[in-house]
């Protein structure tokens, strides 16, 4: 019994830490969206934004360190908690009836794995320029436009943003519960709607950039 209580307490702590890192990552995604939407303002605005981010190397690398640590902790805890659930129920139900839950809730692990692969690809693609056909440091607008001038990378990003939307739609709601915040039913419903709205804004906003870049490239190619 003592062991079960200890394991339960450990899981609660891990969920709280996972939620905390989730808050950090969600805040970053929102800020990242706000900055990237400057693509629609043109080359000068987006390149100026990129230059601003790199103006203070200390702040930039500190932010990257926090994000990297948060991301790693979030991934490790997600996999650990998932394995704990499997160990707790090693034999599947003879007859399984799915409880009412959102698509985002049912696919959290899988969308998380998609996002893990996407983050690695994204860093190599647009941060380091390793998979980029004509990467030019400091020319953010050009790098984005060239990167999405073909179908394959555009599809990769759009699919990944769909996964991000699903992940955020449930994650933003689950974070409040993992942090011990109890809400009345009315407020819980409002938070659920807010989570879905945030997920749609993030997914559509970020996906619109590669789609627009591809459309412009195809238009110029005619």
**For the chain, what is the mean pLDDT?**
88
Q: Which domain holds residue 44?
A: 2-89+100-221
Position 211 pLDDT exceeds 80:
yes
Element (H, E) at 177: helix 151-178
Q: For the whole model, what pTM was predicted? A: 0.87
pLDDT at 175: 86
Asked if residue 95 belongs to a domain, the reply is: no
For helices 2-36 and 57-88, angle between their N-to-C axes, nearest 10 degrees? 140
Instruction: State how far the Cα of 111 lies from the Cα of 102, in Å rounded to an integer.
Output: 13
Question: At which residue do the structure tokens 């990003």 appear?
Answer: 157
Q: What is the pLDDT of residues 76-97, one digit of tens each?
A: 999 998 888 777 655 544 444 4
Instruction: State how far the Cα of 66 lies from the Cα of 194, in Å rounded to an integer.
Output: 26
Q: What is the pLDDT of residues 135-180, one digit of tens each?
A: 999 999 999 999 999 999 999 999 999 999 999 999 988 888 777 6
Domain count, the chain: 1
Q: Residue 145 maps to which CATH number?
A: 1.20.1300
Asked if residue 206 belongs to a domain, the reply is: yes
**Which SS3 state, helix, strand or coil, does residue 182 take?**
coil
Asked if residue 94 belongs to a domain, the reply is: no
Asked if residue 120 belongs to a domain, the reply is: yes
Q: What is the pLDDT of residues 10-30, one digit of tens each?
A: 778 898 899 999 999 999 999
pLDDT at 100: 52
């Amino acid at each position: 019994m003592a062991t079960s209580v200890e394991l339960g307490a450990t899981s609660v702590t891990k969920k709280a830490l996972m939620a905390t890192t989730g808050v950090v990552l969600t805040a970053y995604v929102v800020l990242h969206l706000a900055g990237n939407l400057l693509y629609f303002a043109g080359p000068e605005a987006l390149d100026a934004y990129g230059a601003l981010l790199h103006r203070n190397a200390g702040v930039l690398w500190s932010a990257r360190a926090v994000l990297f640590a948060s991301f790693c902790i979030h991934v490790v805890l997600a996999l650990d908690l998932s394995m704990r659930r499997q160990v707790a129920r090693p034999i599947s139900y003879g007859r399984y009836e799915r409880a009412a839950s959102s698509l985002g809730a049912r696919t959290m692990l899988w969308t998380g794995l998609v996002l893990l692969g996407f983050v690695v690809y994204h860093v190599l693609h647009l941060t380091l320029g390793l998979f980029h056909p004509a990467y030019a440091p400091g020319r953010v607008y050009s790098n984005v436009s060239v990167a999405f001038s073909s179908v394959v990378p555009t599809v990769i990003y759009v699919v990944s943003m769909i996964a991000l939307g699903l992940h955020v739609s449930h994650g933003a709601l689950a974070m409040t519960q993992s942090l011990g915040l109890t809400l009345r039913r009315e407020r819980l419903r409002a938070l659920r709607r807010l989570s879905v709205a945030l997920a749609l804004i993030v997914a559509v906003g970020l996906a619109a950039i590669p789609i627009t870049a591809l459309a412009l490239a195809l238009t110029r190619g005619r």
